[in-house]
Structure 1
Amino acid sequence: MQLNKPFATVTPTLDGDVLAVLASADVTFTISQVQRILGTASGEGIRKVLNRLSAQGVVLHDEVGRTHTYRLNTEHLAAQPIMALSRLNSTFLHRLEQHLTEWEGSLRYAAVFGSAATGRMRLDSDIDVFLVRATDSEDDGWDQRVTELARLVTAWTGNDGRIIEYTEDELRAAVAAGEPLLDDVSKQGLTVAGTRAWFTAQLRPTRRS
């Protein structure tokens, strides 16, 4: 799946893109506003989709002068499933955070980075997860946890989970060596365990140099 295009999991049509826009905020939209947000769809195509969704009652249509406005009907029976689909990205991150809380003291920091964090996923993109293992960890099941994490990411999304792991000592060595991946995590990463402040502090020796 593409976390940045959640409705594509159930429909590859323009309907999903339009619903994603309407579900993004509890406000009214004009056809031109929807078109600007989507960027690639035609106004006529958007109009047909909105008329079809209005006929189903999923979208509320109003006319003010010559301006036609549309909004998601939040009282519709389908509204909650639509909203849930629109939140797949945040649902994935929350589920990941909840799972990683079970790792207790063995995990110092974790973040999702790469295309899953920047909103540029393709259908075949990996989901990259960066982990830092605590130096004093005595978790004999660490390797099994990492394997299970990769399996869960794939089960939740259909995408391969790519786990990049460091111990704290390895992280310090990578910082000293100027490992470019760490800059990617710092600039784009979405923290799902530990604190961003801790991770940023580990990078300061490289930046001072």
Structure 2
Amino acid sequence: MQLNRPFTTVTPTLDGDVLAVLASAGVTFTVSQVQRILATRSGEGIRKVLTRLVQQGVVLHDQVGRTNTYRLNSEHLAAEPIMALSRLNSTFLGRLEEHLDGWGKTLRYAAVFGSAATGRMQLDSDIDLLLVRAAAPVHGGDDAWEERLTELARLVTMWTGNDGRIVTYAEDEFRAAAAAGEPLLRDVAKQGLTVAGTRSWFSSQLRPAARRS
């Protein structure tokens, strides 16, 4: 799936993109406003979709003077599932946070990065995750850690249909990579979405390297 285009999970048509715009905020939109958001779509195509959705009752149409405005009908029976689809990205991040919270102190930090974080996913995109392990493992800890990584990758695929690509660092390895100015870590600092630990801790580990450079 494409987390940035959640409605494509059920429909590849323009209808889904238009519904995503209307569901993004509880306000009215004109055709031109929708077109500015869906930059590659024609105004005529958007108008036809809105007309069809008005006929279904999912969208409410108002006219003030010569201006036509449209908004999602929050009382429609379909409004709840439409809103749920529009929130798939935040639902995914919430599930990740909840799952990783169960890892306890073993996990120092985790973030989603790459196209899933920047809103540029394609249908076959991987979902990239960075994990920083808190400390050296106790006896048998490596096996438990690997099992958790395997399960995490499985869950990401089951939740989204996309492969999970997990990059892991032990905490000392992470500090060494940060000191060396590892580009991947800079990308995570700029665009990553934190799902475990705190962004302030992550950023603080990169500052010494930034001052040296």
Q: CA deviation at 1:208?
A: 1.4
Instruction: Name 1:36's counterpart in structure 2.
Output: 36
Q: CA deviation at 1:137?
A: 4.6
Aligned partners of 2:109 and 2:131 also within 8 Å: yes
Name the CA distance, whole Å, in 2 between partners of 1:176 and 1:79: 49
TM-score by length of 2: 0.96
Instruction: Name 2:11's counterpart in structure 1.
Output: 11
Q: CA deviation at 1:179?
A: 1.1
Instruction: Name 1:82's counterpart in structure 2.
Output: 82
Q: Residue 210 of structure 2 aligns to which amino acid in structure 1?
A: R
Q: Residue 157 of structure 1 aligns to which amino acid in structure 2?
A: T
Q: Residue 188 of structure 1 aligns to which amino acid in structure 2?
A: Q
Aligned partners of 1:105 and 1:137 also within 8 Å: no
Choose the corresponding residue for 2:189, options 186, 191, 195.
Answer: 186
Name the CA distance, whole Å, in 2 between partners of 1:203 and 1:36: 37
Name the CA distance, whole Å, in 2 between partners of 1:15 and 1:25: 17
Q: Which runs of 5+ in 1 are unaligned?
A: none
Name the CA distance, whole Å, in 1 between partners of 2:207 and 2:152: 29
Name the CA distance, whole Å, in 2 between partners of 1:62 and 1:176: 58
Q: Is it true that 1:206 corresponds to 2:206 in the alignment?
A: no
Name the CA distance, whole Å, in 1 between partners of 2:199 and 2:54: 44
RMSD across aligned positions (CA): 0.9
TM-score by length of 1: 0.98
Name the CA distance, whole Å, in 2 between partners of 1:207 and 1:177: 10
Name the CA distance, whole Å, in 1 between partners of 2:179 and 2:41: 47
Name the CA distance, whole Å, in 1 between partners of 2:128 and 2:174: 17
Q: Which runs of 5+ in 2 are unaligned?
A: none
Instruction: Name 1:48's counterpart in structure 2.
Output: 48
For residues 93-140 of structure 1, the C-alpha deviation after alignment (integer angstroms, 9 at most, x for no partner) is 000000001101100000000000000111111000000001155345
Q: Classify the secondary structure of the residue corresponding to 1:141.
A: helix
Aligned partners of 1:110 and 1:191 also within 8 Å: yes
Instruction: Name 1:117's counterpart in structure 2.
Output: 117
Name the CA distance, whole Å, in 2 between partners of 1:148 and 1:68: 50
Name the CA distance, whole Å, in 1 between partners of 2:176 and 2:65: 65
Aligned partners of 2:136 and 2:170 also within 8 Å: no
Q: Say how many residue pairs are matched.
A: 209
Q: Classify the secondary structure of the residue corresponding to 2:103.
A: helix
Name the CA distance, whole Å, in 1 between partners of 2:172 and 2:96: 25
Q: Classify the secondary structure of the residue corresponding to 1:29.
A: coil
Q: CA deviation at 1:65?
A: 1.0
Displaced runs of 4+ in structure 1, greater than 3 A? Answer: 136-140
Q: CA deviation at 1:40?
A: 1.1
Q: CA deviation at 1:177?
A: 2.1
Q: Residue 153 of structure 1 aligns to which amino acid in structure 2?
A: V
The 5-angstrom pairing of residues 104-143 of structure 1 reads 104-138=104-138, 139=141, 140-143=143-146
Q: Sequence identity, in percent?
A: 78
The 5-angstrom pairing of residues 81-100 of structure 1 reads 81-100=81-100
